[in-house]
Amino acid sequence: MLLCLIAAGRAAWAQASSASTEASSASPPGRLILVLPFDNHSGNAALDWIGDSFPDTLNQRLSSSGFLTITREDREYALDHLGLPAGFRPTRATTLRIAQTLDADFVVVGSYTVAASKLRVQAQIVRVNQLRMSAPIADSSDLARLYDVENAAAWKIARELDPQFAVAETTFLSASAGVPLSAFENYIRGVEATSQNERLKRLSAAFAESPTYTQAMLALGKAQFAARDYDHAAMTLAKVPLADRRALEARFYLGLARFNSAKYADAEQAFAVVATRLPLPEVINNQAVAISRQGRDASALFQRSVAADPNDADYHYNLAVSLLRRHDAVGAKREIDAALRLRKVDSEAQQVRDQIARGGSVVPVSAGADSAFAPLERIRRTYSETSFRQAAFQLDQMRQLRMATMQPAKRAVEYTEQGRTYLAQGLLPEAEQEFQRALNADSVSAPARLGLAQVREQSGDDAQARSEAESSLRLHPGAEAHALLARLNLKANRLPEAAAEVKLALALDPGNTTSIGLRQALAARGQTLP
């Protein structure tokens, strides 16, 4: 499955690249990257968790930059496929075998030492097809600034792989803001724990210390689900915001948790949220199963799952049961025959076929008659992150193809709108990349310049934020750009300048809530508008 998805992704990227000069100059998301845990050269086994944290952070940053990264689960699959234990630290030769098993283009390897609370890191990129290793990428800092070291390493790797990569290093450095290092340590130790109790304890600690840490939130919800604590799992997973990039996986497991608690309407709603954004067959199937448990006909959705993946025996089985419940014996026989061709040994499917041959039907789910023939449609209980990531990737490539046909100014508008969406979600690297693409399409786009200014402001680069806001105003006057300059002046205690910017903003948009708030903040500090 993984290799098929990768191949499809490569084909989609190739098509997008040939369709658009702009796309071909962007960072190549079709390049598949495997990041391995870094080797601990400190001599202190208690610091092994740091090595495990590098793939987590680097995968996030590189994925946000348009590269396709290989997950921890896929990496473990490769180790198992090669007969190697999960914690195995590969040699260079074994690294290449793992990369070739996963069809990776690049592998990132590295090591670190810790002495006197000082962290030193070295990373290298292996170009698999060329069997060539890059020069070392080195960095060092206090151990307390582990995030900065990992984010800086990710930025340097992105620049090494794509010299035209335009996202600023400060944007990468600000991407992990707000999560305490101790919470990050508990999260890494939790996802790597081999015992269920240790996993739950560590992830609960990470979530308790940082209640908005959505990585820990999702991991804890999944761990609670695995422990069959469905009510607590649902409570945890429901807290993942819909705007978060992990929301789809969280809603999938929320649907399963609600389903296992017999809360079928809630399960249906959770699966529907995922299906609306990524209509994969397993999600549509689960939505249909939740509907059928409520005594409603879901045949149309089961037919969509079969059409999307006709080689899945369970989808044919589910459609057969649903059609038989509608007294459509002809359709049910067609589907159950297909299911048994795909999976020859399936006692339940054979029982359904025998019932059809006898001219029988099945009772509705709501009837609950113990003695009646009442097979139930099958739900998918596992989330394939690879499938979901690949589907999202291909949707992005379809978007690139569509946008390649637009006029540059229109393309810039679309990129800017997507950038604003990312910015609202706190996804600064993704937002900056969209604003940069907008400016590549239309260099005089004032909204794109303003978007870059807002990214710079949030990443703490006030000088560049001011420069970009002023550039936006030179292209077109706007209340939000003046408000941004007012915030920067207020932060620098330049109250008269801040007041002047607020006045200009309100002249352009008297109802601008940001500027009204700034006027009140200035008044509280004794500064009136000129």
* pTM for the predicted model, two decimal places: 0.81
The yes-or-no verdict on residue 11 having pLDDT over 80 is no
Q: 367 pLDDT band (50/70/90 cuts)?
A: very low
Return all residues near 520 (Cβ < 8 A) that are at least 6 apart.
none
Going through 317-471 in order, the beta strands assigned E by DSSP cover none
Mean pLDDT (whole number) for 1-6: 41
Q: 6 pLDDT band (50/70/90 cuts)?
A: very low
pLDDT digits (tens, 9 = 90+) for 72-113: 888 887 788 878 776 677 777 788 888 888 888 999 999 999
Determine the residue type at 172.
F
DSSP 366: G
Task: Return d(Cα 26, Cα 162) in angstroms, integer.
Answer: 8
Both tokens of 429, joined, read 């690297």
Task: Return d(Cα 23, Cα 17) in angstroms, integer.
Answer: 5
The pLDDT value recorded for residue 372 is: 57
The pLDDT value recorded for residue 129 is: 84
Mean pLDDT (whole number) for 271-300: 94
CATH number for the domain whose boundaries are 299-376? 1.25.40.10
User: How do 118-127 and 106-115 pair as beta strands?
Assistant: antiparallel
The yes-or-no verdict on residue 13 having pLDDT over 70 is no
Both tokens of 498, joined, read 């801040």
The percentage of residues in the chain with a pLDDT greater than 90, rounded to a whole number, is 68
The pLDDT value recorded for residue 243 is: 81
Would you say the CATH fold of 385-524 matches that of 299-376? Answer: yes
pLDDT digits (tens, 9 = 90+) for 458-511: 999 999 999 999 999 999 999 999 999 999 999 999 999 999 999 999 999 999
DSSP 175: T
Q: Is-contact 251 270, C-beta < 8 A?
A: yes
pLDDT digits (tens, 9 = 90+) for 220-267: 999 999 999 999 999 999 999 988 888 999 999 999 999 999 999 999
The pLDDT value recorded for residue 396 is: 73
Task: Return d(Cα 248, Cα 75) in angstroms, integer.
Answer: 22
pLDDT digits (tens, 9 = 90+) for 154-181: 999 999 998 888 899 999 988 877 889 9
The pLDDT value recorded for residue 28 is: 41
List, in sequence order, the alpha helices (H) in 247-346.
247-260, 264-277, 281-293, 299-308, 313-325, 329-342
* C-alpha angle 402-404-410 in degrees, rounded to nearest 5: 90
Structural class in CATH, domain 31-177: alpha beta
HEC string of 382-395? CCCHHHHHHHHHHH
Mean pLDDT (whole number) for 433-451: 95
Q: What share of the chain is helix, strand, coil (3-state, %, to 5)?
A: 65, 5, 30
The pLDDT value recorded for residue 2 is: 41
Q: Is-contact 321 299, C-beta < 8 A?
A: no
Q: Is-contact 490 520, C-beta < 8 A?
A: no
Determine the residue type at 335.
E
Q: If 0-12 CB within 10 Å is exposed, 13-18 middle and 19+ buried, where does residue 383 land?
A: buried
| Segments making up each domain of the chain, as ranges | 31-177, 299-376, 385-524
The percentage of residues in the chain with a pLDDT greater than 70, rounded to a whole number, is 89
CATH T-level fold of 385-524: 1.25.40
pLDDT digits (tens, 9 = 90+) for 28-64: 444 789 999 999 999 999 999 999 999 999 999 998 8
The yes-or-no verdict on residue 25 having pLDDT over 60 is no
